[in-house]
Structure 1
Amino acid sequence: MAISRSDLVAALAEKSGTTKTVADSVLSSFTDVLLEAVAAGDKVSIPGILSVERVERAARTGRNPSTGETIEIPAGFGVKVSAGSKLKAAAK
């Protein structure tokens, strides 16, 4: 079962004892801060829950799956998300 954004906002509002409008604003602000930090190359860490960081990927040779042709994949960036100990324990 997936939790939608509106479900998450409702749960945050209930847990924090605030309105859905305030909870939605906080969630939007958190998203903005996370995106800005990752774009700047900073690591965002919530101890015990998760860490998110931008990682560099080197240029490499790949293969087009439909034609089998060899292609060059340029260097770029990716995002690494690591689960913390509390999140891992909750998944058991």
Structure 2
Amino acid sequence: MNKSELIEALAQDINIPHREAAAITNTVIETMTEALARGESIEIRGFGSFVIKKYDAYEGRNPKTGKKIQVRPKKLPFFKVGKDLREKVNVGK
């Protein structure tokens, strides 16, 4: 499912115009993005949580040339699946 499919599903599920569903979806995504950019975590019970993981600098290699390169420290968003979602995905396995 992509963003436009999510908007369409929201519009149909709660019977609202597509434009309103798009505004709601965009607001939720923007709010979550801003919280993560501030270093905050997001927890949606039953679904999962988003946190920022910090990675230290390290020495890597350019895969094309094999030359050593210094990789700068970075922060990346990480999603940890919730118990309810994990169980729904693994039904029948």
Question: With structure 2 as the length reference, what TM-score do the two structures score?
Answer: 0.87
Partner of 2:35: 37
Partner of 2:24: 26
Structure 2's unaligned 5+ residue stretches are none
Partner of 1:65: 63
Partner of 1:14: 12
Partner of 2:75: 77
Give the aligned length: 90
Partner of 1:52: 50
Deviation at 1:79, TM superposition (A): 1.0
Q: Deviations over 1:73-92 (max 9, x none)?
A: 11111111111112212212
Structure 1's unaligned 5+ residue stretches are none
Q: Deviations over 1:15-59 (max 9, x none)?
A: 223222211111000011011000000001101102111121101
Identity %: 26
SS in 1 for 2:64: coil
Pairwise CA RMSD:
1.2
